[in-house]
Amino acid sequence: MNLDARIPDGPVQEKWSRHLEHAKLVGPNNRPKYDIIVVGSGLAGASAASSLAAQGYNVQCFCYQDTPRRAHSIAAQGGINAAKNYCEDGDSVYRLFYDTQKGGDFRAREANVYRLAQLSHNIIDQATAQGVPFAREYGGMLANRSFGGVLVSRTFYCRGQTGQQLLLGAYQSMQRQIHDGKLTMHTRCELQDVVVIDGRARGIVVRDLITGEIRSHAADAVVLASGGPGNVYFKSTNAINSNATATWRAHERGAGMANPCYVQIHPTCIPVSGNFQCKLTLMSESLRNDGRVWVPRKKNDDRPPQSIPEDERYYYLEERYPSFGNLVPRDVASRNAKIVCDDGFGVMGEGTRAVYLDFKDAIAERGRSTIAERYGNLFQMYEDITDESPYETPFRIYPAVHYVMGGLWVDYNLMTNIPGLYAIGEANFSDHGANRLGASSMMQCLADGYFVLPQTIGDYLHDIFRDKVSTDHPAFSQHEQDVRERIGRLMGIGGTQTPLSLHRKLGETMWEHCGMARTAEGLKQCISDIGQIRDEFWKDLRVPGTADGVNQPLERAGRVADFIELAELMCRDALERDESCGCHFREEHQTEDGEVVRDDERFGNVTVWEYTQKGSPHIKHEEAIDFDLLKPMTRSYK
Amino acid sequence: MISLTLHIWRQNGPDDTGRFQTHRMTDIDPDISFLEMMDLLNEQLMADNKEPITFDSDCREGICGTCSMVINGRAHGPGHLCTTCEVRMRQFADGDEVWVEPFRSRAFPPVKDLMVDRSAFDRIIQAGGYITVHSGPKPEPNANPISHPVAEEAMDAAECIGCGACVAACPNGAAMLFTSAKINHLNLLPQGQPEAISRVLGMVDQMDKEGFGACTNHAECQDACPKGISIKFISAMNKQYVKATLIEPNERRGRLESQ
């Protein structure tokens, strides 16, 4: 497996500009001769598809939704970071780089992170030009708020719907390209296989979710922007149809999977309320700007929060982390919520675990109307779900699976180890290390899609000029046959369990053993549970109806089959990474007061897994990480 | 726990005539969402070897606009300012009869059961619902200040999730609330001015071509809109449209089909 990251020479600050100066290009007259496939239409996919089409390439974009505007990026609430230093509070490109590297616990590539920080300005400029209505101050200037893990205000926002507005900006640019005939959109289509011919990605096989037709599409490059696999855990903040099929199929065809065990558990979500719940709702991290997190000092205190006096409240984040307080990074906030609940201080409501997020002081200090303007829609959302008003009684919150930092391995150009196959956005592993800071995922998706990929893809394409492959190539019919057989197998088991019930079982064991805290013993147990679930799945699954039309249980069955495989790899990765770092917390490696203990000697690297063949164990590879600008240090938010 | 009688629209494809099918659900936890109840019903149907009900949903937190059911005659069901996925079972009483239908409109062809085709909305956007900018360096946003009220009003319009409840709620099947929200989001902002005229003309014409009806001021759309978008945007759109038609074609700004 070729894991040359192709990071340019020179000082970190100059790598990206030097790279652009020397990258090979495809001329405007030749771009219409190239076909590019983009899978996924979220922030990364939509921004890449529209930018590539605007440059003149022929772009085909695929999504499972009925329109590209519905991709799950739309649910991102709080904001997007940029090192604009509008608040003159000491921000800079270096500071954003520093915060992201430290936040990621020194497990990301410096060159990528620095580039991300450099491009952050451009994203705000680009989105504003597209008509994204960022919040403005009364003087007409852009407004900022703060997010966890940083000491500056650099987050730009559109109320609590920043992801929606940024996605609509990218979606509208796509629609313009569709109107011009440069971009073809294939909605309600799901990727089933990636076609690799003579070592290069040459196309994909999809299933039309309306007609059930299995179809091939050929191209000169394939870009996967299919998001992350948080739904491995069944209950997550992801959209219920988000899945890992595209990245897993690419992995089975030879693409390396990097750091799959790095899973972010978001600290502020509405607690689980029942067995049938499949979706957890996130409450934006921006709430921690004004809300204070606490639990009762007395164990199993069952008094209502209002009647617990101030001196009997344990503001555990403020006490343990005085300099960052409630704005510690997500992994730290989540882990502390788990610790206080494990110790018996949690707020027990109807059998759920939770901590309080209280706006009492903020409302007293700033007034109800200011708080309503900042967070009104989030307060409303919480009240709709729980029937409790956060204006009157504190939010009850608990961590939930939210984002996966790991993903397909990519080089500096965002190309996987399969030439011509790219991965962008959450689908790749590149920028967030072992923990992602808030308001950074949209920044990465849009940097990848608007500014990086459109300028690096030419470097690959220019070489394969006139070397075309069409869907007549026998590899396509072979792949289509594989897909049909697989679907036939799923339809033909004729057992008793539904895809949803098996998915729930998988999620339960993953949350228990591969969630916020992991042990070698637990992970081994989880791998054995997964083996059992896999057996049950392939022996006792029931999918009703036929494969020749709309069949939602069949769609889920296909996704669950891939989640099962990925889950096992995530556990194995977590098991072999015998250290704690960022979100990956191995109970064997912690300080006395429960902070993570890294082992840079042995694990200051990226783990990349190579698929061999069905049933055989993966082969482990490593990419060393160089630290030129910022040496790893103990991460402290005290 | 509550029990309900559900009458759910079943239609096996666009050529089928469709009919209501009745199901009884018992022991429903009032805290679960309507769609979780539908998931449970589907699990039951599959256990009885019956075909589950096809319906659209994705984010399940009221922002993606995928879910689309008319519940007891109301687009997105009981409650105000919420999507189908945000409806909770506590909004129903024990023993209620509940009628569940798809979003119906000539311009939203049925696909299966409760799933419809809303691609007409994408084609309205293609007719001008964008600002023409390429990716690359752009001017500093603070060089062009936008006053707080203007930014807020643009955001009020931009909050549209494109679900189509406005169309389903309108006795005329009009898409005026959707189209006007999209037009005003961009036309209120200084960045949207260069293409403002071609935008309103192009999008309104496409809306008509798709077979949506006309507005006769029922205001049902505003009531059904999960994001509370105001019908003031419809009057603003009408004003802009009339003005735009009075401008000589060769003096209209922005890109037009004829150019």
Can you give the residue ranges of every domain in chain B?
A: 2-112, 118-251
In a domain, A234, yes or no: yes
Last-in-domain residue among A435, A464, A493: A464
Query: Domain check: are A321 and A199 in the same one?
Result: no
pLDDT, tens digit, for every residue of A202-249?
A: 999 999 999 999 999 999 999 999 999 999 999 999 999 999 999 999
Query: Domain check: are A56 and A92 in the same one?
Result: yes
Statement: residue A102 has pLDDT above 70: yes
Can you give the pLDDT at residue B136?
86
Taking contacts as CB-CB distances below 8 angstroms, the residues of chain A near B117 are 66
Residue A384 touches chain B, beta carbons under 8 Å: yes
Range A67-92 average pLDDT: 95
Range A599-618 average pLDDT: 94
Query: Domain check: are A386 and A417 in the same one?
Result: no
Query: Domain check: are A140 and A258 in the same one?
Result: yes
In a domain, A570, yes or no: no
pLDDT, tens digit, for every residue of A505-538?
A: 999 999 999 999 999 999 999 999 999 999 999 9
In a domain, A564, yes or no: no
Who among A50, A133, A172 is closest to B125 (CB)? A172
Contact A277 B32 (CB under 8 A): yes
Helices A110-129 & A93-103, crossing angle to 10 degrees? 120
Closest Cα partner for A547 from A205, A192, A189, A213? A213
In a domain, A633, yes or no: no
Q: What is the DSSP string of A40-58?
A: --SHHHHHHHHHHHHHT-E
Taking contacts as CB-CB distances below 8 angstroms, the residues of chain A near B65 are 69-70
Could you give the number of structural domains in chain A? 2
Query: Domain check: are A275 and A260 in the same one?
Result: no
CA distance A20 to B257: 37
Statement: residue A482 has pLDDT above 70: yes
Query: Domain check: are A286 and A258 in the same one?
Result: no
E runs forming strands in A351-459:
355-358, 395-404, 407-408, 421-423
Can you give the pLDDT at residue A388?
92
Catalytic hit among A330, A396, A436, A635: A330
Can you give the pLDDT at residue A465?
75
Q: Which of residues 87-106 of B touch A (CB under 8 A)?
A: 88, 90
Range A126-131 average pLDDT: 97
Contact B130 A175 (CB under 8 A): yes
CA distance B223 to A344: 46
Query: Domain check: are A155 and A232 in the same one?
Result: yes
**Cα-based angle A135, B158, A209 (whole degrees, multiple of 5):** 125
Last-in-domain residue among A412, A444, A464: A464
The residue assigned the tokens 């504190």 is A394
Statement: residue A139 has pLDDT above 80: yes
Which pTM was predicted?
Answer: 0.97
pLDDT band at B256 (very low <50, low <70, confident <90, very high): low
CATH topology of domain B118-251: Fumarate Reductase Iron-sulfur Protein; Chain B, domain 2 (1.10.1060)
Taking contacts as CB-CB distances below 8 angstroms, the residues of chain A near B145 are 136, 139-141
CA distance A217 to B114: 30
pLDDT, tens digit, for every residue of A405-447?
A: 999 999 999 999 999 999 999 999 999 999 999 999 999 999 9
Q: Considering chain A, what is the average pLDDT of its residues?
A: 95
Neighbour count for residue B252 (Cβ, 10 Å): 17
pLDDT band at B253 (very low <50, low <70, confident <90, very high): low
> What letters, b where the CB count within 10 A reaches 16 and e where it falls short, cover A601-616?
eebbebbbbbbeeeee
What's the domain range around A288?
266-402
pLDDT, tens digit, for every residue of A182-211?
A: 999 999 999 999 999 999 999 999 999 999
Tokens for B171, please give them: 């006795």
Residue B227 touches chain A, beta carbons under 8 Å: no
Statement: residue B21 has pLDDT above 80: yes
The CATH number of residue A429's host domain is 3.50.50.60
Who among B40, B62, B139 is closest to A381 (CB)? B62
**Residue B23, beta-bridge partner list:** B6
CA distance A388 to A393: 7
In a domain, A518, yes or no: no
Query: Domain check: are A89 and A177 in the same one?
Result: yes
Query: Domain check: are A152 and A103 in the same one?
Result: yes
Contact B130 A176 (CB under 8 A): yes
Last-in-domain residue among A386, A402, A418: A402
Query: Domain check: are A219 and A326 in the same one?
Result: no
Residue A594, judged by CB atoms within 10 A of its CB (0-12, 13-18, 19+), counts as middle
In a domain, A28, yes or no: no
CA distance A608 to A606: 6
- Shortest alpha-carbon distance between residue A82 and chain B (Å): 13
Please give the DSSP secondary-structure letter assigned to residue A631. Answer: -
Is residue A518 flagged as an active site residue?
A: no
Statement: residue B83 has pLDDT above 50: yes
Statement: residue A466 has pLDDT above 80: no
pLDDT, tens digit, for every residue of B172-189?
A: 999 999 999 999 999 999
Closest Cα partner for A266 from A292, A251, A250, A286? A286
In a domain, A477, yes or no: no
Contact A175 B126 (CB under 8 A): yes
Neighbour count for residue B250 (Cβ, 10 Å): 8
Can you give the pLDDT at residue A351?
57
Taking contacts as CB-CB distances below 8 angstroms, the residues of chain B near A54 are 134-135
> What letters, b where the CB count within 10 A reaches 16 and e where it falls short, cover B208-247?
eebebbebeeeebbbbbbbbebbbebbebbeebbeebeee
Can you give the pLDDT at residue A349?
63
Statement: residue A24 has pLDDT above 60: yes
Statement: residue A400 has pLDDT above 80: yes
SS3 A11: coil
The residue assigned the tokens 């149907």 is B45
Cβ-proximal residues to B251 (8 Å cutoff; 6+ apart), any chain: none
- Shortest alpha-carbon distance between residue A454 and chain B (Å): 9
CA distance B70 to B231: 21
Q: Are A393 and A411 in contact (CB under 8 A)?
A: no
As its CATH architecture, domain B2-112 has Roll (3.10)
Contact B129 A67 (CB under 8 A): no
CA distance A342 to A432: 28
Query: Domain check: are A258 and A340 in the same one?
Result: no
The residue assigned the tokens 């921004």 is A47
Neighbour count for residue A577 (Cβ, 10 Å): 23
CA distance B45 to B5: 15
Stated as kind and residue range, the H or E segment containing A502 is helix A499-513
Statement: residue A271 has pLDDT above 80: yes
Can you give the pLDDT at residue A359?
97
Residue with the larger pLDDT of the pair A344 and B128: B128
CA distance A422 to A201: 9
Instruction: State how beta strands A407-408 and A421-423 pair.
Output: unpaired
With a cut of 0.90, is the ipTM above it?
A: yes
Statement: residue B257 has pLDDT above 70: no
pLDDT band at B258 (very low <50, low <70, confident <90, very high): very low
Cβ-proximal residues to A315 (8 Å cutoff; 6+ apart), any chain: A292, A293, A294
Contact A65 B49 (CB under 8 A): no
In a domain, A394, yes or no: yes
pLDDT, tens digit, for every residue of B28-44?
A: 999 899 999 999 999 99
Query: Domain check: are A231 and A321 in the same one?
Result: no
With a pLDDT cut of 90, the percent of chain A lying above it is 89
Q: Are B145 and A141 in contact (CB under 8 A)?
A: yes
pLDDT band at B259 (very low <50, low <70, confident <90, very high): very low
Can you give the pLDDT at residue A286?
87
Optimal mutation site among B41, B83, B130, interface A, most CBs of chain A within 10 A: B130
Can you give the pLDDT at residue A146?
86
Residue ranges in chain B assigned as alpha helix (H): 34-47, 119-126, 148-158, 165-169, 176-187, 196-209, 220-224, 232-246
Can you give the pLDDT at residue A161?
92
Q: Are A427 and A224 in contact (CB under 8 A)?
A: yes
Q: Which of residues 498-537 of A touch B (CB under 8 A)?
A: 498, 500-501
**Residue A145, beta-bridge partner list:** A155
Helices A552-576 & A499-513, crossing angle to 10 degrees? 20
CA distance A405 to A229: 10
